[in-house]
Amino acid sequence: MATIPQRVAVIQWPVKNVERSLKWYQEVLGVTLTFPFTPGDPAAWLCIGDVGFGLVQTEEVPRLEFTDMQGNLQPIVQLQVNEIHEVYRHLQDKKVTVSDMRYISDGGYSFSFTDPDGNTVSLWGGWPSPEDHTD
């Protein structure tokens, strides 16, 4: 019998300072804790949808991004959000480094941001409706 994965259950996200990153993700993205956190713990576990998102302390934070064949920077993780334009303005107001908003026909809106450890994450607004894109 073949083993067929059912879903992504956990993402372990490397950070240098768990408390700083936890505060940042809670303040900027409004993400909630999955388990209690005590300062000094080596990890903090957040819940994003039904996926565990662990902020795990490490000495060196690897680059979690790559450049595709067209020369575009691609983050490893993309999170889906509602009201992507409002989220974009909210992050800008919080002085978060964000990319330009992109629209891909039949793919929707997305943009990237950088967390305090230099990790790049993409946010996606979900599948577009015909009225979503206006030029």
- Residue 2: what pLDDT? 83
- Residue 59: what pLDDT? 96
- Residue 133: what pLDDT? 60
Asked whether 84 and 98 are in contact (CB, 8 A), the reply is: no
For 6, half-sphere exposure in the C-beta direction (CA atoms, 13 angstrom radius) is: 4
Radius of gyration in angstroms for the set of CA atoms belonging to the chain, rounded to a whole number: 16
- Go through the domains of the chain in sequence order and give each one's CATH number: 10-57 (3.30.720), 65-132 (3.10.180.10)
- Residue 72: what pLDDT? 87
Report pTM. Answer: 0.86
Per-residue pLDDT of the chain (135 residues; tens, 9 = 90+): 788 888 899 999 999 999 999 999 999 999 999 999 999 999 999 999 999 999 999 999 998 899 999 998 899 999 999 999 999 999 999 999 999 999 998 899 999 999 999 999 999 999 987 776 655
- Residue 89: what pLDDT? 97
